[in-house]
Structures are given as C-alpha cells and as structure tokens.
Amino acid sequence: MQQKVRDEPNGALVPGRAFLLQGKFREGSILKICVLASSSAGNSTFIGTANTHLLVDAGLSRRETAARLALIGESIDDLDGILVSHEHTDHVGSLWTVAKRREKRPPVPVYATDATFNALAKPAYEPAVEKFCAGLKLIIGDIEVQTYTTPHDAVDPIGFCFQTQGLKTGLVTDLGYMPDSIRYHLRETDFLILESNHDLEMLKVGPYPWQVKQRVMGRKGHLSNDVASEFIRQDMAPATQTIILGHLSEQNNHPELARLAAAQAIEGRGLAVKLVVALPRKQTEVFQL
Ligand SMILES: [Zn+2]
Ligand SMILES: [Zn+2]
C-alpha cells in the first residue's frame, strides 16, 4: 500500500490516517520517539518501547496531548510515566490534567525531584509521584532513564538519557550553557534532542526587554544556535543517527538559521546524521529506531 505520509519542510506532521500506520511499531524497531511540541509555548515528548510509554513534560493541554498522541497511535491512558524536567509552565502547564487517567484508573506516575515537586501547584486529586534525585538512574519498565542536572533558572532542572536494548537517546533543553557533565552524559547517543533556542544576533536586536535578553543569554538561560552547533562539532557522538533541534524561540530564532548552523557543524565532521528542526508548536514526524 502506498504510504500517504507527507512531511512538511521541517518534519512537522500533517494529520491523516497514514500517521496511525506510521505510529505502529515497525517490525524490528525498538524505540519510538515523537516530539509533540517544543518551544516556550509548550513542551512534551513521547518516547516508548512496545512495553513502556513515557512522556517527558506536559506543557500542552490535555486535549492537545491526547490528540497528538492519537496521531502516533498512543494514548494518555497507556502512559507508564511522565518525567518532569523542571517547573516552568511551558513544561508542566497541564501536568496534573494529563496525568489523570479516565474513569477510576489510578493516575499516571509523575517522576520529579523533591524540589521540583514542591515548586509545583498541587492537583485536586491524589497524584502518583515518584521522587528522584538528580544523577539517579530510574528504571521504568524496560527503559533506563539517566537523570542529570542542567544549568537553568529553575529550582532543580533535569536532563535525561534513555537507554533500552543498546540504544541511547539524549533529551536536553532549557540550559544556559553546555557543561562538561552534560557532554559526558550525552556521549554515545544514537538519537539526540537538543535545544537550539536562539540566534544571538536576533536576540540582541529583538523585542525582548534587556533584562529578559540577559536571562536568556545567561548561564542559566537557554542554549544558542552557536553553542548547539559547537557541541555538534566537538562532542556529538559519531554514532548519532538523528538529531532534533528543539525549544526554538519564536521571536529570536528562525528554523532555517538553526538548521544551517547545525548542518554546517555536521558537514564539518563528515557525519551522516539526519537533522530535524522541531517547529515551535508543531509535532515532529515519528522516529522508530
Ligand atoms: Zn522551556
Ligand atoms: Zn525553562
């Protein structure tokens, strides 16, 4: 059967029945990944195996999360955990409504550090919370989740690496710079979702007040296109098959600028890496490894 899957220029999904087919596990594939949204308007990423279904952050409304999961053949009711990176609204705006399952089924377990949990508004129901400390490895079903501290202006911000059956995926956004500890955690990734928030020149001449510009540029702010491409040039694991640039600023970046900076870095290394730019507010295609 001819697949009617069609990509928009930057890998965004065009809704249609074909995506349900695309969302099904391909024979022989181990891992399914889809960035449901990635920007300061809302962040949420699905990562799952045939047995374990995780969401990282819940910054989209419940309705939107459910709709975008349905497009890839997944459901909130089947989630095994929601991992929280930090307490900013674009990451947890709908956490408790997304974590609530239908009818009388227990809520989806929420994984958060103690400090992050304390910084969250609490739900009207009894949530299922699994607390962890940065640096701990969590075992959720058949996925090992390595957690690590990120430099960001939140109480206890966290980045993640996911390992299953020899495949490693890194996911880190909302970081002011790239410390050696994160370079260490991101070694040997097969799949990487990395922030490429702003173009420094656009930020400098852009509409933000000076204090906000300082915050974004600061060591607890967001990663620029330049720093993301510097990481690709110097440290990205050669085995990386796919890199998704995420958390692009809608005011201070342009998808083509982010793509160009990363593409030049990839080309400079002579690597055959699939480069995808997650458009703010749009769902990416589904990746199966
Ligand atoms: Zn954010
Ligand atoms: Zn943040």
Reported confidence tier of residue 200, pLDDT bands at 50, 70, 90: very high
User: How many Å lie between the centroid of ligand 2 and the Cα of residue 236?
Assistant: 23
User: How many Å lie between the centroid of ligand 2 and the Cα of residue 247?
Assistant: 10
User: How many Å lie between the centroid of ligand 2 and the Cα of residue 158?
Assistant: 10
Residues in CB range of 92: below 8 A, 6 or more apart: 57, 58, 59, 84, 86, 120
pLDDT at 188 over 80: yes
CA gyration radius for the chain?
18
Measured CA to CA, the distance from residue 88 to residue 174 in angstroms comes to 10
pLDDT tens, position by position, 213-232: 999 999 999 999 999 999 99
pLDDT tens, position by position, 6-27: 333 444 454 444 455 456 677 7
Domains of the chain in start order, with CATH, are: 17-288 (3.60.15.10)
Which ligand lies nearest to the CA atom of residue 176 in the structure? 2
User: How many Å lie between the centroid of ligand 1 and the Cα of residue 85?
Assistant: 9
Centre a 10 Å sphere on the Cβ of residue 91 and count the other Cβ atoms it contains. 25
User: How many Å lie between the centroid of ligand 1 and the Cα of residue 285?
Assistant: 21
pLDDT on residue 23:
60
Q: Which residues surround ligand 2, an ion (CB under 5 A)?
A: 88, 174
pLDDT on residue 22:
58
User: How many Å lie between the centroid of ligand 2 and the Cα of residue 212?
Assistant: 13
How much of the chain, in percent, has pLDDT values that exceed 90?
Answer: 88
The answer to whether residues 242 and 276 touch, using CB atoms and an 8 Å cutoff, is yes
User: How many Å lie between the centroid of ligand 2 and the Cα of residue 24?
Assistant: 32
Collapse the DSSP code of 58 into the 3-class scheme (helix H, G, I; strand E, B; otherwise coil) and give the result.
Answer: coil
Bridge partners (DSSP) of residue 288 are 32
pLDDT on residue 24:
67
User: How many Å lie between the centroid of ligand 1 and the Cα of residue 76?
Assistant: 22
User: How many Å lie between the centroid of ligand 1 and the Cα of residue 43?
Assistant: 7
User: How many Å lie between the centroid of ligand 1 and the Cα of residue 152?
Assistant: 10
pLDDT tens, position by position, 244-277: 999 999 999 999 999 999 999 999 999 999 999 9
pLDDT on residue 16:
46
